[in-house]
Chains A and B, each alone.
Chain A
């Protein structure tokens, strides 16, 4: 089922969304992964996508920056139609930061080299200013002391924060997170979520696929619940989590917000509050 987005954020600037997704269909052979997915993202909005595993959430992110092509519908980013088969998509990807579940840092490069390689080689920035900017970003993600470490010498949480710095180094206008904390040890999850929360507070436009309900609730402006390749429900997180309209959403929320999860939500929420 595809619904017109009905979030408050959407009414704000209906005329000028940064990302427009219109009836997107994605198939792998006979399998339909995404079925008529539509929604808009406004500048500065944090949209979290939740739902059971295997419902096409990650695939959807990969369609947005053209890592996967689509079989139907349209994705328009900053007024430009995303076409995975066109060479233009290469330039478009420079404006979209992507964070992966498994970090995907370049293992042959140090943290600072990971962050500077694309600005230097792709954006042709001078080496010195790229490095300066990298150090600035390392302060932002609280990793100044790890700048010359190799990924293999870092914890998962540190690697993911380097990956965030690497994406930010390109000055993207949209940051996409594909289950950024799913591969992390529990004790390092908080560090990554804090950084993401600060990004959101800075006004970054973010599209986040996550299973961290506390984060989604706390930081998301809008929540999309996806199941079976379609958006089932789209609205403010507190609405979806506490007062879901669709039966399927209700089932999902009940299953992820078991008492033990609820307890973690509280403690996470407390940890994420710096004040």
Chain B
């Protein structure tokens, strides 16, 4: 029987906070950047202009159907062939952002479709410019619809960040790999990291829930909004 010994991990715990921080950092940045990119791509997919629609749709379909690992390889190992050498962290961030943006696009597109036509008409009839209409009227309603599926996507980004180890990013999974390699106790390292990811994801989820309740306060009051 395997002699499970979690104590073997203790000497390596001092390096864990830095690894967790890196995971949080890359996931947070990728979430923000991909959300912004996703909103624009979602708007492009609903544009009257065929060209914009074509670009956005092509992007989504290529990225969505490419494993994150392959995308990371392309950025980290492929780009240097064209003379573009990026740090591991930056490569990872770019790959994670590009990947997540495709899924964010679809989340926000669903949100856009859910906003009734009358909302656009009301905003336009009040003399709002296009950007003002999106900012003050449409976007808040998209977020209201999207914030639940957004939680899924944020978890997806955190999970995806574990692949960044390949690009020498010193995040949680890299800690697991190093610690396992040094101690030959991979199983214990797996367990530690599994717990770390569980706490990270559940923590983000609670935070997102709390934010949602604050922003869409009337939901708590029993209103549809």
Contact = CB atoms under 8 A, between A and B. Distances in A.
The answer on A and B forming one complex is yes
B140 A170 contact: no
A67 B121 contact: yes
Main DSSP-derived SS at the B contact region = helix
23 contacts: A67-B124, A94-B127, A98-B125, A100-B122, A104-B116, A104-B118, A104-B121, A104-B122, A105-B122, A106-B122, A106-B137, A107-B224, A107-B225, A108-B141, A118-B126, A121-B128, A122-B127, A122-B132, A150-B221, A150-B225, A152-B218, A152-B224, A166-B126
B218 A150 contact: yes
A93 B123 CA distance: 10
A152 B216 CA distance: 13
B131 to A, nearest CB: 11
Main DSSP-derived SS at the A contact region = mixed
Contacts of B5: none
Interface of B: 116, 118-119, 121-129, 132, 136-137, 140-141, 144, 216, 218, 221, 223-225
Nearest to B215: A108
A102 B125 contact: no
Given A100-B118, A152-B225, A108 B140 contact: yes
A107 B126 contact: no
A160 interface: no
Given A106-B137, A153-B223, A122 B128 contact: yes
Interface string A3-44: 000000000000000000000000000000000000000000
A270 interface: no
B15 to A, nearest CB: 45
Interface in A166-219: 166-167, 170
A96 interface: yes
A96 B122 CA distance: 12
Given A105-B122, A122-B127, A151-B225, 20 more contacts: A62-B121, A67-B125, A90-B129, A93-B124, A93-B125, A93-B126, A100-B118, A102-B118, A104-B119, A106-B137, A107-B224, A107-B225, A108-B216, A118-B127, A121-B132, A122-B126, A150-B224, A166-B126, A167-B126, A170-B126
Contacts of B129: 90
A92 to B, nearest CB: 8
A93 B127 contact: yes
Interface residues of A, number: 29
A195 to B, nearest CB: 18
A129 to B, nearest CB: 18
Interface in A123-171: 150-153, 166-167, 170
Contacts of A104: 116, 118-119, 121-122
A101 to B, nearest CB: 9
A34 B56 CA distance: 37
Contact of A108 (B116, B128, B225): B225
A151 B216 CA distance: 14
Given A104-B122, A150-B218, A118 B223 contact: no
Contacts of A167: 126
B136 A121 contact: yes
A117 B128 CA distance: 10
Contacts of B225: 107-108, 150-152
A18 to B, nearest CB: 17
Most buried by B among A62, A97, A106: A106
A118 B136 CA distance: 9
Nearest to A163: B122
A167 B136 CA distance: 17
Contacts of A170: 126-127
A91 B128 CA distance: 8
A67 B122 CA distance: 10
A106 B141 CA distance: 9
A166 B137 CA distance: 14
A98 B121 CA distance: 9
Interface string A50-88: 000000000000100101000000000000000000000
B141 A107 contact: yes
Contact of B121 (A96, A100, A105, A118): A100
Given A121-B136, A150-B223, A152-B223, A90 B122 contact: no
A110 B141 CA distance: 14
Contacts of A92: 127
Nearest to A96: B125
